[in-house]
């Protein structure tokens, strides 16, 4: 029989939420809008940042990023290659970023050079959901290669997000993914959430997504 100390768990979440609020205030004071990117490994979170950096530049806005990973700097290096200032945040054994890690990452960013901050969480469909980071909005990215039942398997991530991206729509027919079913499941758990269909290899769907991000 498992024993769970509810009071300790409550204290952890409350402490994280206090730090997340501090992060939000720090970024807001610097005039920065921040977006938390959630999703599984390989869904397209890093590709989304790579595409949005130059698109934002065309609109006169500078992007920055925090790249969260358990280990390594592969995503960080891809983001840096776009010219955007970025910080690598390794979690070690943890399957998610928390507000404390983000707080320290923010300290290493040139805030006066950033208008939009993307916080790319660790690739995981469960753990990041409970940990606010201080972002203005949460964007969950899934891909057709994960299967059309992915939203039904992870409802909390969709309930707690602001917008959803269904990526790799060009591969749907090859992997047997019913995109309409996936979109329907998302709206079952979050009826008002906008959903964007993207092909990040071609950039299809990205302009509409950016418009929503900047609303």
Does 57 have pLDDT greater than 70?
yes
Quote the pLDDT of residue 9.
Answer: 65
What is the pTM for the complete model shown? 0.93
Angle CA(89)–CA(93)–CA(96) in degrees, nearest 5? Answer: 55
- pLDDT value of residue 1: 47
Spell out the residues 6+ positions from residue 42 whose beta carbon is closer than 8 angstroms to its own.
123, 143, 145
Residue holding tokens 């979170």? Answer: 45
pLDDT the model gives residue 11? 83
Query: What residues are paired with 142 via a beta bridge?
Result: 166
Question: If you compute the radius of gyration of the chain from its CA atoms, what whole number of angstroms results?
Answer: 17
pLDDT digits (tens, 9 = 90+) for 165-198: 999 999 999 999 999 999 999 999 999 999 999 9
pLDDT tens-place string over residues 115-134: 999 999 999 999 999 999 99
């Amino acid at each position: 029989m498992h024993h769970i100390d509810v009071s300790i768990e409550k204290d952890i979440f409350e402490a994280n939420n206090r730090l997340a609020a501090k992060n939000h205030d720090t970024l807001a004071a610097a005039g920065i809008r921040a977006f938390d990117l959630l999703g599984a490994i390989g869904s397209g979170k890093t590709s989304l940042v790579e595409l949005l950096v130059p698109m934002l530049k065309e609109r006169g806005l500078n992007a920055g990023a925090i790249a969260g990973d358990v280990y390594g700097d592969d995503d960080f290096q891809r983001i840096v290659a776009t010219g955007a200032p970025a910080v690598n945040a390794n979690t070690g054994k943890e399957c998610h970023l928390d507000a404390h890690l983000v707080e320290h990452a923010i300290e290493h960013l040139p805030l006066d050079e950033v208008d939009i901050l993307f916080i790319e969480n660790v690739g995981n469909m469960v753990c990041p959901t409970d940990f606010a980071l201080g972002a203005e909005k949460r964007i969950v990215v899934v891909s057709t290669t994960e299967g059309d039942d992915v939203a039904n398997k992870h409802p909390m991530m969709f309930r707690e997000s602001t917008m959803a991206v269904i990526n790799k729509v060009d591969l749907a027919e090859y992997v047997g993914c019913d995109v309409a079913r996936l979109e329907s499941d998302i709206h079952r758990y979050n009826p008002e959430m906008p959903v964007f269909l993207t092909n990040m290899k071609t950039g299809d769907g990205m302009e509409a997504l950016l418009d929503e991000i900047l609303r």
